[in-house]
Structure 1
Amino acid sequence: MATDGIIGVGWAFPVALDPCGRVELARGERDIEQAIQIILLTPPGQRLRRPEFGCQIHDLLFAPNDATTAGLAEYYVQEALARWEPRIRVLAVRAIPDPGPLPDAQGRLLITIDYEIKASLDRRSLVFPFYRIPGEA
């Protein structure tokens, strides 16, 4: 991949060993996608040496599954990615309640992130499921 040097290489997430017993690495677009997931899965304050790192979306864990919560989720995701992932340009963030029929779907927001990798101008999309605790608000 021609843009590896610009886009980067990092430990795979979750951390695992490769067939040779070394820490598995994520390269290029996969590294960026995993970095996005790490940012969104980390509540601010969880990392002791970097307490500001992460996404405030976790503040919505007990919020009702309504338009206000979806709007806040979109804002928090946009803000976190703009701050913590400089290799991408976020084009759009949309959050909707999961329309699925499964019982756990009622507590889940599906957050679609459209972004562009700055180094390659490659446009990508990622759907991040955010699980709320329904009925607790």
Structure 2
Amino acid sequence: MDDNFLGVGLAFPIELDENNQLKISRYEMAVQQSIWTILGTAKGERIMRPDFGCGIHDFVFSANSASTVGQIVSEVRQSLIEWEPRIDILDVDVTPDEDEDSKLLIIINYRVRTTNNRFNLVYPFYLI
């Protein structure tokens, strides 16, 4: 099966491979890097696309509470539905990191629509 429909582009962050060529991100890796970009971009950060990104950055100084966790889950789900049409979100869960009180782990389980392959991603989010 040809996976070109999932995309091919420059890897992020931009770096060189062993042949001093720009690294390329392909297929499911391109989808994963897109998710990282969405979660790592605060809404309003991009001048020409101020609505792009995820609203979790508004919670940086919030208390580590059930309310904050619920709002983060909602923001992540809403942002991925809006900005990453190549996936179906199976589950979004937020758990506190056992080693750091101020860190939450955002666990995203998703399925790539066209290949039906399942993946998960853990995004660290710091409250302070």
Shorter-normalised TM range: over 0.9
Equivalences for residues 14-25 of structure 1 within 5 A: 14-25=13-24
| Partner SS state of residue 34, structure 1 | helix
Q: Match for residue 92 of structure 1? A: 91
The code of the aligned residue for 2:47 comes to L
Counterpart CA distance in 1 for 2:9 and 2:102 is 32
| Deviations 1:41-79 (CA, angstroms, capped at 9, x unpaired) | 000111111111000000000000111111111000000
Give, in whole Å, the separation in 2 of the partners of 1:10 and 1:62: 34
TM-aligned CA deviation for residue 22 of structure 1: 2.9
The TM-score normalised by the length of structure 1 is 0.89
CA RMSD of aligned residues (A): 1.1
Q: C-alpha separation between the residues in 1 aligned to 2:54 and 2:68?
A: 14
Stretches of structure 1 lacking an aligned partner (at least 5 in a row): none
Contact 1:74 1:94 survives alignment (8 Å):
yes
In the alignment, what sits opposite 1:131?
A: 126
Preserved contact between residue 98 and residue 109 of structure 1 (Cα < 8 Å):
yes
Aligned to 1:59: 58
Shift of 1:110: 0.7
TM-score when normalising by structure 2 = 0.95
5 Å matches for 1:2-81? Answer: 2-81=1-80
The partner residue of 1:121 within 105, 113, 116 is 116
Write the deviation string for residues 9-56 of structure 1: whole angstroms up to 9, x where unpaired.
121011112233332111111111111000000001111111110000
Shift of 1:80: 0.5
Q: Note the C-alpha offset of 1:5.
A: 1.0
Contact 1:3 1:28 in 2 (8 A): no
Distance 2:127 2:18 in 1: 36
